[in-house]
């Protein structure tokens, strides 16, 4: 069973700061996902990564397959970025569902 | 542009009663999943399906059953609800290389 660890668990920052959330996993994967969940809200897929780096607006996600590690960065953070960010991994070779980290609760203060 | 809808959105039920949650998709994706989300545990897989009538158990399947008689519908049944099944339930769909799309969730309270 893949163990997915996220850090930090909680993060409070000021508007405009550069944010980094880390995710590490224990077993090889076929893909890694970053998800966003606003309080009381649904879950939105931000990125699916199998290698390298992806960018969407102010969000950047990177993955290092050899080190079994991924990071999610938010540039020029804004209060609307306040949410729980969840890392999830797909096992290699199948579609047997995701294994999730416990999430990082991010608060951006104005 | 939901593509995936869950019903009901909220439900309160009594211990010992059967409960069925429905997930409906319009994307024609092969793979469908049921997860539960609990504080301190995050999201955990209950059951999944890789096609009509093809289902398999996930990490926390005890007390739950599923059925998929059509591509678009995936039903989750709590055979006899218990207080430990109070949770938020999310359905998700996936197509190969398309990533995952999650439903809006069903908040279930068992009293």
Q: Identify all chain A residues contacting B92, using CB atoms and an 8 Å cutoff.
A: 43, 98
Taking the Cβ of residue A6 and every Cβ of chain B, the question of whether any pair is shorter than 8 Å is answered with no
The owner of tokens 């010992």 is B16
Number of neighbours of residue A72 by Cβ within 10 angstroms: 25
For residues A28 and B87, the model is more confident at B87
The answer for A 38-97 residues in CB contact with B (under 8 A) is 42-45, 48, 86, 88, 95-97
Per-residue pLDDT tens over the stretch B6-55:
999 999 999 999 999 999 999 999 999 999 999 888 899 999 999 999 99
Tens digits of residue pLDDT in A50-70:
999 999 999 999 999 999 999
Per-residue pLDDT, A96: 78
Q: Vertex B32, ends B19 and B41: CA angle to 5°?
A: 70
Q: For residues A86-97, b (16+ Cβ closer than 10 Å) or e, as one string?
A: bbbbbbeeebeb
Q: Tell me if chain A has a CB within 8 Å of the CB of B104.
A: yes
Distance in Å, alpha carbon of A91 to nearest chain B alpha carbon: 13
């Amino acid at each position: 069973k893949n163990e997915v660890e996220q850090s930090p668990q909680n993060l409070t920052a000021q508007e405009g700061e550069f944010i980094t959330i880390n995710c590490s996993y224990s077993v090889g994967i076929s893909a890694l996902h970053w998800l966003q969940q606003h309080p009381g809200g649904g879950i939105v897929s931000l990125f699916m990564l199998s290698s390298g780096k992806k960018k969407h607006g102010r969000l950047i996600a990177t993955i290092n397959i050899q080190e079994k590690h991924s990071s999610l960065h938010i540039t020029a953070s804004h209060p609307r970025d306040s949410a729980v960010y969840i890392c999830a991994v797909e096992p290699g070779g199948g579609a047997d569902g995701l294994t999730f980290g416990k999430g990082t609760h991010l608060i951006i203060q104005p | 542009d939901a593509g995936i809808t869950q019903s009901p959105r909220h439900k309160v039920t009594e211990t010992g009663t059967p409960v069925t949650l429905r997930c409906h998709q319009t994307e024609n994706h092969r793979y469908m999943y049921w997860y539960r989300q609990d504080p301190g545990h995050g999201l955990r897989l209950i059951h999944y399906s890789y096609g009509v009538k093809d289902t398999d158990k996930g990490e926390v399947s005890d007390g739950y059953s599923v059925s998929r008689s059509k591509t678009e519908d995936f039903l989750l049944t709590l055979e006899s609800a218990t207080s430990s099944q109070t949770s938020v339930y999310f359905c998700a769909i996936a197509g190969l290389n398309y990533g995952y799309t999650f439903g809006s969730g069903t908040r279930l309270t068992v009293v």
